[in-house]
Amino acid sequence: MNNPTSYYIEQKERHQQIVAKLYKKMTVFSTFRILVFLITCFGVYLFYRQWQIASVIGVLGIACFVFLLTKYTDIKAKRELHKKLVTINEEELKIASGNFHDRPQGLEYQSPAHFYSLDIDLFGRGSFFQFINRTSINEGRQQLADELTANNTENINQRQNAIKELGSKPEWHQLYSATASLIKVETEAKNIISWLNDYKPFIAKPMRWLPLVFSLISLGLILLAFLEQLDAYAAFFWLLFGLAIVGLHLKKINVLATNTDKLKDTFKQYALLLDQIENETFTSDLLKQKQQQIQSENKKASAVFAEFSKLLDTFDNRNNFISAIFGNGFMLTDIKNSYQIEQWIIKYHNKVNDWFEVVSFFDAYNSLGNYAFNHPQYVYPNITENKNTIHAKGLGHPLLNPNKRIDNDLNIENEQFFIVTGANMAGKSTFLRTVSLHIVMANVGLPVCASSSEYNPVKLITSMRTSDSLTDDSSYFFSELTRLKFIVDEIAKEPYFIVLDEILKGTNSTDKAIGSRKFVEKLVASNATGIIATHDLSLCEIEKELDEVKNYYFDAEIINDELHFDYTFKAGVCKNMNASFLLKKMEIV
């Protein structure tokens, strides 16, 4: 599939047609339901003096009505699914046009103390997370944020293969997302797991047979009363006896009902998602490993969850007054359902966490696969162990307009440090974020915005954006020093790619120049690899003294009293600065 836009247009139109057909079917079944209801009412009225016949007509009428209602509900559910698929494809077309700023920003996952997330706009309005996120459940969204912030350089090829495979299955991951988004889950997975692990059963095992025996006796009494072989009052008193038995456990049953009422939608949703995972064929190692994780000994995980969902739905019928009175009075349904729910919890509670994790994994990785599908022109970095940390051609920022974006080549070796100078607005900061995002995307396993890329995996650490804090009573300068200390401590443990933007901004220019020079020298002495952007040209003198340091710049030219930028990454030192020109141009001075 080389044209995602054409695909989304075709899919949107296809699902719209299906929605229209399903609506017609719903209308037919709705009409039949009304006819069955009217015919049943007329039949009961016609034979109301012969209550046995009227009862048979009523039972048959109700059975037909329930059957038609079930079919109607199934068709309605399919229609809602396809309506969601229409919305998904419309959203993709909207995002492709650059309109994605109303989507979840992921600010809850941002931390100023993180290695890079704040500096490179990983979260927030217009962020990479906002652009890539297609998750439908909270746990999937958390998993996606974790993947983007993990700084994980292990098993990149394995993740690449998984993302490639999911990228080749757009119809599957759209169906997964649509299914996941149809049910609004009230309770977080971690709370469900905690409740299941801490649950204490209250229905004793010997009680398992009581509802069955009681139901058989009730059936016999009702049959005898129907045949007029027994006074109906006997059945009535038996009903009261059944309600009394249930009443002994009512308080604990009500607590269980309150807790499980919040779970039924989650298990219904997860059962459908697990079923989709189980029935799909995967070839990449990571996806097969996750698929095997949901294999149960005798049953599929989807079947186990579906079983629990049905138990909870059945238990929920106690909220129906007639069902509660006659069900408990004649069959002890609350005791039976409570026992079955408790036995399920005892048997499967220790597996639920693993199964939830798989559902969250696929929800997150579908976002990554969707990103790969949407950008067939991007390349997966060739993971190497050679001396080049990054050797990329046509490297660009994936969130910039490709028709206006200027791409650059980058070749930086292990333990090299680039000093980048340039005029204001010439593209230094954008370039730093481009390089940083390349590392993050490559480590995640995503294709990168480049025509080619060779990459020797390395963890990323940045200092580009620092703020003071009234809450922590820390100044801007102290916050920056704390960040630089954090970098020094981390590179002492393992190699990092360091990206710095105009460090020591909170002090005077002389002190800043001396401090910046000493810090870069320390980084080079620590065998660090990275890039620092600066306006301080004196820092470029280090290139003459240290072979590991190279100077690069972004240029600006004043032509016909207008400022022009080419946004091209060049070797050397910037000679043209523009602050004075802009002050005069804007009539500030």
CA angle 422, 426, 431 (to 5 degrees): 90
Retrieve residue 18's tokens.
Answer: 């299906």
Rank 200-214, 412-426, 503-517 by mean pLDDT and report only the highest: 412-426
pLDDT exceeds 90 at position 286: yes
**Mean pLDDT over each residue of the chain, to the nearest integer:** 88
Q: Domain residue spans in the chain?
A: 1-99, 189-362, 382-585
Q: What is the mean pLDDT of residues 398-423?
A: 92
pLDDT given at position 175: 96
Read off the pLDDT of residues 467-479 as tens digits, 9 standing for 90 and up: 544 444 456 778 8
Q: Report the run of H or E that residue 531 belongs to, with start and end.
A: strand 529-533
- Residue 98: CB atoms within 10 Å: 10
Segment among 19-23, 106-110, 135-139, 422-426 with least mean pLDDT: 422-426
In DSSP terms, 383 is beta-bridged to 455
Distances (CA, A) of 93 to 6, 7, 248, 293, 449: 9, 10, 59, 35, 20
Q: Which residue has the tokens 């699902």?
A: 15
Q: Which amino acid, residue 119?
A: D
Q: Which stretches of 332-400 are DSSP H helices?
A: 333-348, 352-374
Pairing state between β 388-395 and 408-413: antiparallel
In DSSP terms, 462 is beta-bridged to 499
Q: Where are the beta strands (DSSP E) in 311-432?
A: 382-383, 388-395, 408-413, 417-422
pLDDT exceeds 90 at position 450: yes
Residue among 134, 149, 145 nearest 181 (CA): 134
pLDDT given at position 143: 96
Q: Which residues contact 375 (CB under 8 A, 6 or more apart)?
A: 398, 447, 449
Read off the pLDDT of residues 515-537 as tens digits, 9 standing for 90 and up: 889 999 999 988 889 999 988 88
- Residue 193: CB atoms within 10 Å: 16
Between CA 556 and CA 427 the distance in angstroms is 10
Retrieve residue 525's tokens.
Answer: 């002495």
Between CA 252 and CA 280 the distance in angstroms is 41
- Residue 504: CB atoms within 10 Å: 21
Q: Which residue has the tokens 């499967």?
A: 348
Q: What is the mean pLDDT of residues 448-458?
A: 96
DSSP-derived letter for residue 469 is: B
Q: What is the mean pLDDT of residues 24-38?
A: 92
* Phi, then psi, of 532 in degrees rounded to 5: -125, 130
Contact 395, 434 (CB under 8 A): yes
Q: Helix (H, G, I), strand (E, B), or coil: what is residue 464?
A: coil
Q: Which residues contact 394 (CB under 8 A, 6 or more apart)?
A: 407, 408, 409, 450, 451, 452
Q: Both ends of the chain: CA-CA distance in Å? A: 56
pLDDT band at 562 (very low <50, low <70, confident <90, very high): low
Retrieve residue 320's tokens.
Answer: 């129906």
Which CATH class for the 382-585 domain? alpha beta
- Residue 474: CB atoms within 10 Å: 15
Between CA 205 and CA 256 the distance in angstroms is 17
pLDDT exceeds 70 at position 120: yes
Q: How many CA atoms lie within 13 A of 315 on its CB side?
A: 26
Retrieve residue 61's tokens.
Answer: 């009428």
In DSSP terms, 563 is beta-bridged to 558
